[in-house]
Amino acid sequence: MTRRLPAGLLPALALAACLCLPSRAGSSPAPGKTVVVTYSVLGAVVADLVGDRLAVKVLIPNGMDLHEWEPSARDVEALGRADLIVANGLELEAGLLRAIERARRAGARVFTASEHVALRRAAQGEGEQGEDEHGGHGHRHGAADPHLWTDPMAMKAVARGLAQELRTGLGVEVGDRLVDLERRLDALDAEIRAAVEGIPPGRRKLVTGHESLGYFAARYGFQQVGAVVPSLSSAAESSASQLAALKRVVAREQVKVLFTEVGTSPRVVDALALECGVRAVPLVTHAVPADGAYFTFLRDLTRTIVESLR
Ligand SMILES: [Zn+2]
């Protein structure tokens, strides 16, 4: 079991991030070994894969803005003590990069999830919405998108790579659990595919807080047409000209819903909703729900999108 968070800080969500799935008979426990995962959604997949064969600890409290989080001295220590660190990479955990690198130099094993998936890169036009006279924009074409957890097939590839790492690096065998997890991820993919059939193709357009749904969009036939912060990170800010450009996109694409996330400015969203006549719908894109399960996370996300756009 992992560290508990102080009472009052998103207790249900935080506790959920620590839950592992029920154990199975015939497992081979590795007493005392700990995997430290940087964030909760990836942590949920790791916990699902390892069951009770390893302790899984999630570093960034569930619900925090991953792009902006900074570790405490205690968090840095926890990384140093891990038998294996599982990180996303692609600068998602920008505040943790130095601590992870230090742990790696001190001999810690590090598994980087994004090295195991087909990377999505920002397409022509993305992140350039309203490029202003100062040349300010979210990112260059071709910047690698870190939000791989919004595609269950990417997480399948991550689980496969991690199972291999656990075998060779820690001597822990999870092949049986991997087979089961892959089967359930395939079923989830089919379920999402069926659910989005309920949205007419012309309405499969996403406007989000930042560009967080690129993998989901590519997998399920959506277009990310705009974002309040036209960047792969919520840490950027939108300029007046970018917001003006977003208003034009909303009008041109006949978008009716603006999906807001952790890190999206409520002030900017309220103003946009009022001026454009769109509805602002909160969408959980970077955190697990109360049961701590990856599957519930993606089902909830899909349901919110389908109910809002159909
Ligand atoms: Zn993000």
* Angle at alpha carbon of residue 61, lines to 219 and 63, rounded to 5°: 50
**Both tokens assigned to 241:** 């000209």
Mean pLDDT of the chain: 88
Contact present, 271 and 222 (Cβ < 8 Å): no
Place of tokens 């930042």: 210
CA of 210 to the centre of ligand 1 (A): 7
CA of 105 to the centre of ligand 1 (A): 27
Helix, strand, or coil (residue 296): helix
pLDDT (0 to 100) of residue 129: 54
| Residues with C-beta atoms within 5 A of ion ligand 1 | 212
- How far apart CA 161 and CA 17 sit, in angstroms, is 22
Q: Which residues pair with 121 in a beta bridge?
A: 144
Q: Which helix (H) or strand (E) holds 83?
A: none
Please report, in angstroms and rounded to a whole number, the separation of the first and last CA atoms in the chain.
41
Contact present, 178 and 49 (Cβ < 8 Å): yes
CA of 44 to the centre of ligand 1 (A): 17
Burial classification of residue 254, based on how many CB atoms lie within 10 Å of its CB (0-12 exposed, 13-18 middle, 19 or more buried): exposed
**Both tokens assigned to 183:** 């089967």
The amino acid occupying position 149 is W
CA of 135 to the centre of ligand 1 (A): 23
pLDDT (0 to 100) of residue 130: 47
Strands (E) across 142-262 are located at 205-210, 223-229, 257-260
CA of 68 to the centre of ligand 1 (A): 10
- How far apart CA 215 and CA 121 sit, in angstroms, is 10
pLDDT (0 to 100) of residue 109: 97
CA of 145 to the centre of ligand 1 (A): 9
- How far apart CA 292 and CA 110 sit, in angstroms, is 23
pLDDT (0 to 100) of residue 127: 52
CA of 94 to the centre of ligand 1 (A): 11
CA of 251 to the centre of ligand 1 (A): 25
CA of 211 to the centre of ligand 1 (A): 7
Strand order in the sheet with 223-229: 223-229, 205-210, 257-260, 279-282
CA of 89 to the centre of ligand 1 (A): 12
Instruction: For residue 289, give the nearest of 84, 44, 6 by alpha carbon.
Output: 44
CA of 67 to the centre of ligand 1 (A): 6
What is the phi/psi pair of residue 206, to 5°? Answer: -115, 130
Residue 64: CB atoms within 10 Å: 19
pLDDT (0 to 100) of residue 293: 98
Instruction: For residue 71, give the nearest of 104, 38, 35 by alpha carbon.
Output: 38
Walk along the chain (310 residues) and give the pLDDT tens digit of each residue: 333 333 333 444 444 444 444 434 444 555 679 999 999 999 999 999 999 999 999 999 999 999 999 999 999 999 999 999 999 999 999 999 999 999 999 999 999 999 999 999 987 556 555 444 333 444 556 789 999 999 999 999 999 999 999 999 999 999 999 999 999 999 999 999 999 999 999 999 999 999 999 999 999 999 999 999 999 999 888 899 999 999 999 999 999 999 999 989 999 999 999 999 999 999 999 999 999 999 999 999 999 999 999 9
Helices 97-105, 73-81: crossing angle, 10 deg rounding: 40
Tell if the pTM clears 0.85, that is, is over it.
Answer: yes
pLDDT (0 to 100) of residue 125: 56
pLDDT (0 to 100) of residue 273: 93
Contact present, 226 and 272 (Cβ < 8 Å): no
Instruction: For residue 182, give the nearest of 201, 158, 206 by alpha carbon.
Output: 158
pLDDT (0 to 100) of residue 261: 95
pLDDT (0 to 100) of residue 22: 40
